[in-house]
Structure 1
Amino acid sequence: MDIAQLRCFLAVADRLHFGRAAQSLDMLPASLGRQIRLLEDRLETRLFLRTTRSVSLTAAGEAILEEARALVARADRLEDRLRGLRRAQAPVLKVGAIDSAAAGLMPQLLQVLRVERPDLDVRLVEQKSIHLLPRLLSGSLDLVFCRPPENRDPRIVFRTLFVETAVVALPADHPLSGRSEIAIADLAEAPLIVPDRRSRPHSHDLTIKLFLDAGLTARIAQVAEEKHTIVNLVATGTGLAIVPRWTARIAVPGVSFVPLAIPPGRARSTLVLAAAWLRGARDPQRDALLSTLDRHLPEIEASA
C-alpha cells in the first residue's frame, strides 16, 4: 500500500477539510484529492463523504483510521532506523544532484569546500529528481539538489536556490546560432528534441509551456532520455533543444548554445533548482555544506 496516500488520508481525516489538509502537506488541493481517489480505488471503497459544505469519514474510513495511523508511524520508525544505520556505517556526506546541478553547481561548490571545509567528505550521485527524492527518504542520500515536485512529501524540506537560465542548443551552422538571444517565435517552425515527460517532467514541460504561452505548438521531432543524448542529437541535425545553461558544459563539437528570451511566468518556474533534505533530521555535515553554499551562492547563481 502507498504510504504517501495513507499520509494524505490521515491529513484529511484529522482536519476534515481538504484545503487545510493540502496546506499541511504543502500540496495543491486538487493533487490531494487525486491521491485520495487513488487510495479509494485501490481499496474499492469510499473513505470520505464530501459535500460543498462538509467532509466526514465513512464507516470504512473510520474503520481503517487507527490502523492507517499505526502503519504510517511504523514506516517512519523503520526509515529512521535505516537512516541511523547508514550514518553509523558511512560518515560520508552523500549528495544527489540532477544533471545540470552536477555539471554546474557541484564542481564550483566542491572546489570551495576543498579550501574552506577540507574535513567534509562528499560523495556525489547524479540522477533524475524522481529517483533522488526516494533515496533521500530512505536515508541513502543526505542532501539533494533537484527540481521540486508538484506533490511535495511533507517529510522533506525544499529550499529554492535560484532559477536556472534556459538556452537553445542548436547546430553551430544554424542561421540562429549567431544571435545574442532567441525568442520562442523564432523557433515556431523548428523541429525540437525534448526529454520524456515520465522521467523529466520539468524539462519536458519547460518547452511545452513556453510554446503554449506564446500561442504556438511545439514541433517535437524526437524524444530522448538524457541531456548528453539530446545535445548529441542536436549535433547531428535532428532538431533544436531548450536546455538549462549548465548543459553547455557538455562539450559536443558542432553545437552552439544561445540564451532564450523567457518572459516571467509559469514556464520559467520549471527551471527552479532547490536543495532538499529530511525535515527534522540533524546533520552537522549537511548544515556545513549548506552554510558554505550560502556564502558563495551569488557567484554560483550568476553562472546558472
Structure 2
Amino acid sequence: MRESDSFPEGRVLFSRLAKHVRLRQLQLLLALQQCCSIAKAAAHLDMSQSAATQALAELERVLDLRLFERHSRGIRPTQAGQALIDAVRSVMNQLEDVSETLAAIRMGASAALRLGSIPAAAHAILAQLLAQFYALRPQVHVDVQESEGPRLLSLLISGGLDAVFCRRPALLPESFVFEPLLRDEAVVVAAGTHPLAVRQAVPLAALGDARWVLPTSNIAVRDIFEHTVLAQLPQAQWFPVSTVSLPVLEGLLGHPRAVALVPRSIVPGLAHDRPAGGIRILDMAVDRAALALADLGVMHAREPAPPLLQDLLKLWRAAHPLG
C-alpha cells in the first residue's frame, strides 16, 4: 500500500475523534497506562469501573481499533493504544499549561508570555531578567518551562512557546531567529573544602585522582568533558550518574575528591552558603578556547516577535550589551 493510500482513512479517523471522543476518555487512556488496571484507573479518576469500561469500549468502537490488551499483570497498550497515548499526553500537557495562563488572566493578569529555558539560561538570564520585568509589568503572567533544548525547540516550532532561551541550535529553521545574549564557558567546580579550591593555575593533571560528576550526554559541556578532560585524563573516574540537576550536583560535590565540569552560567545557582565556602570554581591552567561554549541567547519566530518578549529583551540588552 502506498503512503498516500492511507490519507483518506486518516481523515476518517480524525473526523471520528473530533466528533465523538470526550476529554474524560483521553484522561482515562493515560490513567490506564499508568495503573495497568481498569479498576485502579477508574478509582484514580473518581469513576465507577463499569463507566471506565464503557468509556474505553466506546473509544475502541469509534476508532475500530483495540487499544489495550490483557496480560498476566493487568492490561497494557497495544501498538495503536500507545500511539494514541503519546499524542494524548502531549495534548494534556498543553492543556495544563494553558490552564495556568487562563487562571492568571482570570485573576487579573493583563497578558501572558510563554517561555522555555534550558537550565543554564534560566539561572544566568531569566532569574534576574524576570525580576526586572515584573517591576515594570506586574500584571503580566509569564509561564516558564525549564527542560532540555530539543524538547523546548519542538514546542516553540509547533507554537506552544513564544520563545526559548537556549544555545544556538545546530539547525536554525528559516522562519526563526536566534539572538545571542550572554557568552559562556565551561569551568571546573568543587566544594570549598576540596584541596585544590585555594590553589592557582591548577593543571588538569592534578585532577587525576578526582571523581567527576558527569553532565548529561545531550548538552554541550559533555562534549568538552569527553574531548578535553578525557583526552588528558583517560583513566578519569566518575560517579555512575549523569545530571543537570543542581541539587543532585551539589550533593555529589560533597563527596571527597568530587569535581564537575559545568557551564559558568549555572554557578550562581549553586549553594554558596555552605560551611567552608560552598561551591568554588577551580582556577584551572587550561586553554580557555578549549572550554568555550556557544553563547546563551533567545530563539523566537522571525516576525512578529510578541511585544512583551521585545520589552523583556530590551531590559536585558540595556543592562548587558554583548560586545
TM-score bin (small chain): 0.5 to 0.7
Q: Give the aligned partner of residue 116 of structure 1.
A: 136
CA contact (8 A) 1:248 1:257 kept: no
1:296 matched to 2:303: no
CA contact (8 A) 2:163 2:299 kept: yes
Shift of residue 188, structure 1, vs aligned partner: 3.8
Q: Give the aligned partner of residue 175 of structure 2.
A: 155
Q: Give the aligned partner of residue 19 of structure 1.
A: none
Q: TM-score, normalised by structure 1?
A: 0.59
Choose the corresponding residue for 1:224, options 239, 242, 249: 242
Choose the corresponding residue for 2:116, options 96, 106, 118: 96
CA contact (8 A) 2:168 2:297 kept: yes
1:204 matched to 2:222: yes
Q: Give the aligned partner of residue 4 of structure 2.
A: none
Q: Give the aligned partner of residue 27 of structure 1.
A: none
Shift of residue 236, structure 1, vs aligned partner: 2.7
Matches within 5 A, 1:15-94: 91-94=111-114
Letter in structure 1 aligned against 2:129: L
**Compared CA separation, residues 134 and 238, structure 1 to 2 (3 A):** farther
**Compared CA separation, residues 217 and 156, structure 1 to 2 (3 A):** farther
Choose the corresponding residue for 1:280, options 286, 299, 303: 303
Larger radius of gyration: 2
CA contact (8 A) 2:209 2:237 kept: no
Q: Mind listing any 5+ residue stretches in structure 2 that lack a counterpart? A: 1-93, 106-110
Q: Mind listing any 5+ residue stretches in structure 1 that lack a counterpart? A: 1-81
- Aligned-residue CA RMSD in angstroms? 3.1
SS in 1 for 2:271: coil
Runs of 4+ that moved beyond 6 A: none
Shift of residue 240, structure 1, vs aligned partner: 1.1
Q: Alignment identity in percent?
A: 26
How far apart in 2 are the matches of 1:162 and 1:174? 29
How far apart in 1 are the matches of 2:126 and 2:280? 21
Q: Give the aligned partner of residue 173 of structure 1.
A: 193
CA contact (8 A) 1:160 1:275 kept: yes
How far apart in 1 are the matches of 2:233 and 2:255? 25
How far apart in 1 are the matches of 2:173 and 2:204? 34
Q: Give the aligned partner of residue 137 of structure 1.
A: 157
